[in-house]
Structure 1
Amino acid sequence: MKEKRVQLRQVKKMRHQHHQILTDTMKVTIHTSLIAAVTVNSIFYEDEGWLQSESDDEEYVEIDSDYCEALLNPVIEIDGHRELEQFLGNLPLNARTLLKTPRSVLLDNIADGKYWHFGLKQGIHQQLANLPHNSIPESSSILVNVDGLPLTKSSRSTFWPILGLIYGEEKPFPIGVYHGTGKPDCVNSFLSKFIDEAVQLEKDGLDHRGVNVKVRLSGFICDAPARSFVAGTCGHTGKFACPKCKAIGINFVKPGKKKGRIVFSDMEAALRTHQTFTDRETPEHHKMRSVLEDLQIDMIKDIPLDYMHLVCMGVMGKLLIHWVNRQTTQHLITPEMLEEISDRLELLRNWVPSEFSRLPRSLSELCRWKATELRQFLFTGPIVLKGILPSPLYNHFLCFHVAIKFLCSQPLCFTHNHYCKRLLNILPGNQKSCTVGIS
């Protein structure tokens, strides 16, 4: 009996020692996590989000608010939350309370919507933070995208984000975002904060970890409606809408149709330049002065045309719809021909390279094809259509295929530029004369 009492005392003593060790360990863990999180949080907000490591190459680690919460939440959300209060006093239930994360932000009112500016400078800092100190570039070219993003189908709620991308990188970063029931009423109010910051960066550069990086906005990548919106020009369906030349559109109505469309038949019209744009030589082309003109960019060359909508979903899509609906009157395209083309497309599914994100589908689903599928057909079309499509239509397609293939190649687009122009000038004309030799 006496031996059992001694054993019981030893067990209680061991339990007490074990509990004391756990308590001390918990204190150290909590103390370390709190100091690390609060320190990181302080550095994140006071030093623009950069934490210097102790390594020899002085690399900087990008820190965000999620990292602070990841340090704290596992400590705060321990089952023995109440027991921790004896060490820390009144402990909040979540890391966001401890770090004093703001519950609301001050948004800018723009007409019928709200705007939040993330910052161009902050975005470039985040992109350069992943580079070692000796790899920070002396200059950086920024590509900018502006486009509308509908949030739901049941309402008009829309996002209009401004995205930036350092030339040569793959991951874009947000500069600002607008939310409303449509696109912003005034482009200058929408872009004012971004342009003010961009003008300052183009003038003074960006100081990043002791290196002054020269910043240049090299281009705006937008589709046709967004392009005319940010440039302050008339819409893409107007008679003076062409952003590259001074051609005047005419209203073309198909026989038997009530409504027509604007077409530009003048292939030799004078080209626009940045000087003629800013001088307003064609006043009908302009709706207002855009704040983009305050930047050091060429309003013609640095706002390129949209390849996806013009070439893939535009010309290629219209050609396929023309063939599938058998709207040609000169050459008969039978349902059997279309079925054979669909069979050939499905045979290619096992040999599609990774550059195309979707596998080929039958022409019966043409109305659901995405832009990447239309782009893929532009490359595989010469094989799929050979021997099936009537010769005049096939040669007509080849003119388009060869021209786009050359223009998408960096060396060939310069050496064969005039040849591509001759091929593309043929497309709107007679399909019987689609044979042009390289000169």
Structure 2
Amino acid sequence: MNVPKSAETLLKNKSGILVKNMSPGFYCNIGIKTQLNRIGETLNNYNNIIVDVNIDGLPLYRSFRVQVWPILLRLVNITNTAVFTTGIYLGKSKPSSVTQFLAEFTEEVAELRENGFDFNGRCIKFTIRAFVCDAPAKAFLCEILGHTGGHGCPKCTQVGHKINGVLTYSTEAGTLVSNEDFLERKYPDKHAPAFRNNLSPLENIGIDMVKQVPIDVMHLIDLGVMRKFIMRIISNESNYKFRKEAKINISSKLLALRPYITKEFVRKPRSLVDIANWKATEFRMFHLSTMESMFLKTKFLEMYTMNSFFYIVLAVYCFVLKNLAQILI
């Protein structure tokens, strides 16, 4: 019995979207222009379109090794518009080639940046403000070493060294890397071997690889420094001995805060017993909101204020609270 596999075949509807093979999966390009045309009359009052781009891999199932990599755009200067997708990759692992993955996207971006977007006879300027990606996706797209490597900092020349199996960076800042340094491969160890003599797709469309690709706070601070610091303290892997009574005391204080956590926080505090399962938002809330009150009446406060970790928390406060930095200056 010859039965159509989908309603689309039965109704003879054509989507106009082509799905093509892309090792080791499939890729579907929707197009930036197609999505902008769907916004319609919203663009009539604007002469410039400014977008942020996000690309990241997402697992679809827990029991099946399939992931999707969407290319998402957000209109920065146009309000009341949803984030839209311009391309989607589906496969058992990330795309084998970032050049092939971004080929259609970068080609359309280059055309829009040069000629603008034609809407109802008007030419609207198209600009990319930033590529906002987490650290692993950023390393893949920019073809640089990952954040866990010795040359993992894309912003300066600081080189990490392992001490007792832990990758450690000096507290002294290295020389800042400029976009010209990036393009000229002045520091080749920061780049993936295949791209030490070739430009990446983002460089080919004129993206400033230093200023337009921000760092990922989640992996560097929340799941990076903060998580390692707390884990080493409570497991007695540092010079400070964290007693069991202090752990119980702090855990009880965290749990007591749960009824008072507002809806603006994604998750409520959990006990230190569950710290191995804490998410990034929990570590973020801990070092920005609850940590000071937890350690106020413990001996941990002495180590907290004397250690360089205090300066990390202060630096994060300065970045998060824009007015604080101006007040301190």
Pairing of 1:375-414 with structure 2 (within 5 A): 375-378=284-287, 379-395=289-305, 396=307, 397-413=309-325
The aligned amino acid for 2:51 is I
Matched, 1:137 2:46: yes
SS of aligned partner of 2:322: coil
Aligned equivalents of 1:265 and 1:398: distance in 2? 16
Distance 2:156 2:37 in 1: 38
Q: TM-score, normalised by structure 2?
A: 0.86
Does 2:23 correspond to 1:114?
A: no
C-alpha distance in 2 between matches for 1:184 and 1:302:
23
Partner of 1:325: 235
User: Matched residue of 1:161: which SS?
Assistant: strand
Give how far 1:407 is off.
1.2
Q: Which residue of 2 aligns with 1:187?
A: 98
Give 1:275's aligned amino acid. Answer: E
What RMSD over aligned residues (CA atoms) do the two structures have, in Å? 2.6
Change (3 A) 1:132 1:163: closer
Q: 1:155 to 1:350 in 2, by over 3 A?
A: closer
Q: Equivalent of 1:356, from 265, 282, 285?
A: 265
CA contact (8 A) 1:217 1:296 kept: no
Percent identity over the alignment?
33
Structure ranking higher on relative contact order (CA contacts 8 Å, 6+ apart): 2
Cα deviation for residue 178 of structure 1 reads 1.1
Query: Which shifted more, 146-155 or 312-321?
Result: 146-155
Question: Is residue 277 of structure 1 aligned with residue 182 of structure 2?
Answer: yes
CA–CA separation in structure 2 for the residues paired with 1:302 and 1:351: 38
Q: CA deviation at 1:291?
A: 1.1
Q: How does 1:45-194 map to 2 (within 5 A)?
A: 100-102=12-14, 106-126=18-38, 128-129=39-40, 131=42, 133=44, 136-167=45-76, 171-194=82-105
Q: Quick one: structure 1 residues 192 and 380, their matched pair in 2 at CA, closer, same or farther if it must change by over 3 Å?
A: same
Residues 316 and 374 in structure 1, CA contact (< 8 A), matched pair in contact too = yes
* Correspondence for 1:219: 130
Give the drift of 1:297.
2.3
Superposition map of 1:181-260 within 5 A? 181-250=92-161, 252-254=162-164, 260=165
Q: Which digits, 9 at most, give the CA deviation of each residue in 1:1-45, with x for residues without a partner? A: xxxxxxxxxxxxxxxxxxxxxxxxxxxxxxxxxxxxxxxxxxxxx
Partner of 1:365: 274
For 1:301 and 1:404, the matched residues in 2 are separated by 19
Q: Which moved more, 1:113-122 or 1:239-248?
A: 239-248
Which residue pairs with 2:3 in the alignment?
none
Larger Rg: 1
Q: Which digits, 9 at most, give the CA deviation of each residue in 1:352-404, with x for residues without a partner?
A: 23321111121121122111111111222111221124233231454333221
* Cα pair 2:151 2:158 within 8 Å, conserved: yes
More helix by share: 1
| Uncovered stretches (5+) of structure 2, i.e. residues with no partner | 1-5
Runs (4+) off by over 6 Å: none
TM-score (norm 1): 0.66
CA shift for structure 1 position 268: 3.3
Q: 3-state DSSP class of the match of 1:171?
A: coil
Listed one character per residue, the Cα deviations across residues 160-207 of structure 1 (whole Å, up to 9, x for unaligned) are: 211111115573211111112211111110001000011111111112
Count of equivalent residues: 314
Matched, 1:286 2:191: yes
Contact 2:17 2:30 in 1 (8 A): no
| Structure 1 residue ranges without an equivalent (≥5) | 1-93, 255-259, 417-437
**Given the superposition, is the C-alpha separation of residues 402 and 268 from structure 1 closer, same or farther in structure 2, using an over 3 Å criterion?**
closer
